[in-house]
Structure 1
Amino acid sequence: MKDLLIKKIQDKTAVLGVIGLGYVGLPLAVEKAKMAYKTIGFDVQEQKVDMVNAGQNYIGDIVPEELTCVVASGRLTATKDFSFIQDVDCVAICVPTPLDIYQQPDVSYVIQSTEDIASYLHPGMLIVLESTTYPGTTEEIVKPILEKTGLKVGQDIYLAFSPERVDPGNQLYNTKNTPKVVGGVTSDCTEVAATLYENILEGKVERVSSPAVAEMEKILENTFRNINIGLANEMAILCHKMGIDVWEVIEAAKSKPYGFMPFYPGPGVGGHCIPIDPFYLTWKAREYGYHTRLIETAGEINNYMPEFVLERSMKILNRFGKALKNSNILILGVAYKQDIDDVRQSPALHVISHLEANGASVSYHDPFVGDFTLNNKEYRSIALTAEVLQDADLVIVTTMHTEYDYEFIQKHARMIFDTKNAFKNIVNRDNIEKL
């Protein structure tokens, strides 16, 4: 059965499925279709399904023409009808795995997707979980649901975990060329899953011994970044107190050709991975009676940064005899990173919440984010004119978009609080204060 499925993958007669057509799932579905596989995308959101079937792109990392091409050719279709899983040979689960209000993993989307698959499961099928989650999810949650059908993993069906490594806005690495890690429940599972990705992607496929290794590897990637960003943020706080430019410190440290990797401070940590993934591990660690002190401390520091931005903003305004209450604050950039339209977990939103909770009047401009809703209030990006800059009591840069004309901003703003070192190349910095 394994050899038959591998042959279908290699000769491209296998039908591939992707559950969840978001930032991870849709790019993966497009890459599968580009390699001449018949691909079916599944999503519960009718709007996404309709847009895909119309060839309309809504993910920044996808080349719109590529989506249009694979849809027009019939190689990619989308549906809300999960019964079509019965026609699929290999399916990837790419659904959200958020934290609940208690900072505990919410795997309900994974469970629901697995149950949907189980309803139409058939022998000789490969299931790959790509959603980031805690070690053990594939074997402790997904596997039992599938095996309730009477089909055995490694014998009748194949199950693996292969973590997504999407980095929105990255101009060098994307779904196609980023190396892939694959860990199957059995060696046959690993072989089938690795064969699939090797026939779709250009990046190296790294095979590991189990789903748990692959799950932990993904958590390590983002925990590494979270901790080092936490260190950079703590250095920024301390350097400010000591009257030292943290950005100059980092640049100097970068001159060492070994033993140092630069990370940068900012108004907080955003996105769908770094602020969330480490907490999967802290939660799971409690099962083993271990307290992940370093991980949680880094999280506390990073979560404090929006409040630190608030405190600094108050002090900047005070120097000009202005209270934060009733002041006019202009936020530049609300996306969680530069040159993308994603506001998930964006620290800028937390900064806005803190400012408004203390009586400030806040407006924003972002060339990529036209509007968003926060605390049941709708916000719209305003035009970035000389008058708007001049009217602001304080301009806070929270996202360093490359589209911004920083000389223009510096020229017309009364006072700027730069949390991203966006004005590093500006000579006249009399009206700029850095993080």
Structure 2
Amino acid sequence: MTAHIKKILIGTSVAVSMSTIATTPAFATSLTKPTNIQFITNDVANTSANQPNINTWTYAPSTPVYDNTGVGGVNRQVLDDYNNYGNINKATAALTDNDSSTNVELFTSGETVTDHVGFTANLGKKTIKIESVTKADWADGTLATGWLTGFRDAYGGLMSGIATTNGSNMLQDFNSNFTSLVSYLSTNGFKAAGDPNIGGVTYNQKTKDLKIDLVGHLDLSSEYVDTRTTIIDTRATIIDSRTTIIDARATIIDTRKTIVVNGKTVANPTYNKSIPNPTYNQSIPNPTYNQSISNPTYKKSIPNPTYNQNIPNPNYLGFSPNFSRNSTGNAILDLVVFNLAKTAFLQNKPLQISEIAKVTFNNTVSYAYSFTAIDSGAIAGDRNKATDKTSHTGIYSWTKSYHTASVPEPSALLGLMAVGGLFVVKRKVRKNVSFQ
């Protein structure tokens, strides 16, 4: 075989080997969704007879409904199928569809989470468990430290611009209280954050990245600060608190007990009676015109003149009606979040904080949460439109890489061995030539 033919064969062999490596399944992207989903409560399997404490938000199988009264005036599709407490089939469908806005809330019966409610599932050959977060999960301080650090990293810049007492700022105050805040959350947890809404779970077989989508509020400002400039006055009656009023009557009731007739004082026959007014439709002096008189409806209910009308909100930029249910219970941290929310709102910036999910994957416990959201394109159908413009409008994505030093699959190794063998052959040939 001539040297020219050998070179052609070697080149062809390398090309074939490289082509084999490039097309082998070892290098293909594989995005896996959960299968074999089993709902659990404190590691005990739930069934239709033993329903899990979950609820699912999805779309009714009918013509889509849209609503533009939410945050930003965006026309979003309404999650109008929401009465699904304990429904395992609908929950499974929401977790496995291609829409992260359809979601399942874990521990849906209240804000104080007392049970680990969640599910296990297969992600290819791996198993995952996702659960609600209880007070016990905060106890060792790991979650508290991580969450507070993430919160500071996300909003430290904004907090540094909020002046506080003695020439300090909110970031400095937050840092000086960091240890005590960790201690508080470790002891008490964060009750409003432990009932996450899970919108989607995927595992990338190629990159080894686990991704969990949490559904929440695109902007949480209104959950802490009353951002409504006007409100609907729903009071049918109001208490009249005026001690006096201005008498604007042009005529009055005849209150004279006696009158003078032909120079004599006699009883007034029209005392306290209505009589034809000789100056009807004429202007006459009113003895109490523009004077203060006793208000006959003082401290009594009277018809409200602005009933069902928009009026200025007297609580504008005060504490939101939802503040209590979203608070941590720690005066310092709640004041930080309140002032941060107010500042973000006034600067037209969103306040984004997700709920928290407990994740067990590869025998490792992690906590999924995020401080960045994108618009879900959806909105909850069961929200209170008077006070809530943001339920289910945000998707918070948490990603964790489980990539380790990879070992090539056999198909890849064969290709590499072929190329490596050629390199050895070529090296030997060069040696023989050099020593001739």
Structure having the higher strand fraction is: 2
Structure having the higher helix fraction is: 1
Greater Rg over alpha carbons, structure: 2
Question: Would you call these one fold, judging by a TM-score over 0.5?
Answer: no
Relative contact order (C-alpha < 8 Å, sep 6+): which is higher?
2
- The TM-score with structure 1 as length reference comes to 0.23
- The TM-score with structure 2 as length reference comes to 0.23
